[in-house]
């Protein structure tokens, strides 16, 4: 009887051990399955983000290449033709017999108009692809862009730190376009007469601040973010893995 009880007890232990091992194996298998699911999900997310980065980079590169092409055509094509037209008009001036002083003044105004058109074409082509950005870097390019803005329209103060060395060309191009877009938005929409811009690079990265004394806007109003300008700013900064903070309200604006 004792032998049978011992045998039963032994079988019970074996059965219990087998059940425990089965439970442990099932638990381990479930954990392994969950882990693989998480890994696969993370891998998929990483791949999606990678493809988004590639797509965004391709779009930005396409935009910049198109800007370069248009800038070159403006400068080398239209600009050269306008310059030739100005020289021809100036050459004709000595051969024309004006009936009166009014005709002479009109002709001088025509030459002046052509001259201003030449300057405008050069200015636009340089803004689209500034030589300073290619040669000297971000700080010089931003300063050159701001120097072209009439201070009677808006007074702009630029402060830069830590930009003695060149940044990655993509970073410089994107940040230049962001500053350009911000300034254009301020001039067009804010009604400001003062604008402060700072570009500071340190060990943590680079920070750009654009602050104006304009009318501001309600950052909770989604209509302000439906335009191309603010979308461009956000998408370009996101491409650099950065963030954009809008701190504004009616009668108070900074970015």
Q: What percentage of the chain reaches a pLDDT higher than 90?
A: 8
| Average of per-residue pLDDT across 140-160 | 89
Q: What is the pLDDT of residues 13-29, one digit of tens each?
A: 677 777 777 877 777 77
Cα separation, 134 vs 66, whole angstroms: 16
Which residues lie across from 206 on neighbouring strands? 201
> What tens digit of pLDDT does each residue of 28-45 get?
777 777 887 888 788 777
Does one domain contain both 62 and 175?
no
Who has greater pLDDT, 147 or 128?
147
Position with higher pLDDT, 170 vs 129: 170
Please check whether residues 89 and 149 belong to one and the same domain: no
Choice between 79 and 167, residue whose per-residue pLDDT is larger: 167
The residue from 98, 129, 160 where one domain ends is 129
Residue 112 pLDDT = 84
pLDDT for the residue 8 = 65
Count the domains in the chain. Answer: 2
Chain segment 205-224, per-residue pLDDT in tens: 899 999 988 887 777 766 65
**Token duo for residue 187:** 């001039």
Same domain, 121 and 1: yes
Same domain, 164 and 238: yes
Contact 229, 220 (CB under 8 A): no
The tokens describing 23, both together, are 């439970």
Pairing of strands 194-202, 155-161: parallel
**Alpha-carbon gap, residue 232 to 218, rounded angstroms:** 19
C-alpha to C-alpha distance for 101 and 46, rounded to whole angstroms: 74
Q: Does residue 230 share a domain with residue 119?
A: no
Range of 232's domain? 130-255
Phi, psi of 222 (to 5 degrees): -65, -20
Let me know: does 232 contact 238? Beta carbons within 8 Å.
no
What is the pLDDT averaged over residues 235-242?
81
Q: Which of 18-27, 118-127, 161-170, 231-240 has the highest mean pLDDT?
A: 161-170
Picking from 129, 149, 164, the residue at the C-terminal end of a domain is 129
Are residues 78 and 4 part of one domain? yes
9/103 same-domain check: yes
- Residues 67-98: tens digit of each pLDDT: 777 766 776 677 777 777 777 777 777 777 87
Assign residue 182 the CATH number of its domain: 3.30.565.10
Within this chain, do residues 119 and 157 fall inside the same structural domain, yes or no?
no
| Tokens representing residue 61 in the block | 């590169």
Tell the residue number behind the tokens 């201003």, with chain if given. 116
Q: Which of 89, 110, 129 is the last residue of a domain?
A: 129
**Higher pLDDT residue, 73 or 110?**
110
Task: Supply the pTM of this predicted model.
Answer: 0.60
């Amino acid at each position: 009887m004792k032998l049978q009880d011992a045998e039963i007890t032994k079988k019970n232990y074996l059965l219990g051990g087998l059940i425990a091992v089965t439970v442990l194996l099932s638990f381990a298998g479930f954990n392994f399955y969950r882990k693989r699911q998480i890994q696969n999900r993370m891998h998929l997310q990483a791949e999606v983000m990678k493809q988004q980065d590639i797509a965004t980079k391709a779009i930005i590169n396409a935009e910049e290449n198109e800007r370069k092409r248009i800038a070159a055509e403006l400068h080398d094509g239209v600009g050269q033709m306008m310059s030739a037209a100005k020289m021809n008009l100036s050459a004709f001036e000595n051969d024309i017999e004006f009936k009166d002083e009014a005709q002479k003044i009109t002709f001088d105004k025509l030459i002046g108009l052509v001259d201003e058109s030449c300057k405008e074409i050069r200015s636009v082509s340089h803004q689209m692809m500034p030589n300073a950005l290619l040669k000297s870097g971000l700080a010089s390019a931003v300063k050159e862009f701001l120097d072209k803005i009439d201070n009677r329209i808006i007074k702009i103060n630029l402060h830069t730190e830590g930009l003695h060395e060149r940044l990655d060309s993509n970073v410089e191009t994107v940040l230049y376009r962001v500053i350009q877009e911000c300034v254009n938005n301020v001039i067009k929409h804010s009604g400001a007469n003062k604008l402060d811009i700072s570009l500071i690079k340190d060990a943590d990265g680079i920070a750009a601040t654009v602050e104006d004394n304009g009318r501001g806007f309600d950052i909770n109003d989604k209509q302000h973010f439906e335009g191309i300008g603010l979308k461009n700013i956000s998408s370009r900064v996101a491409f650099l893995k950065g963030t954009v903070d809008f701190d504004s309200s009616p009668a108070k604006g900074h970015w």
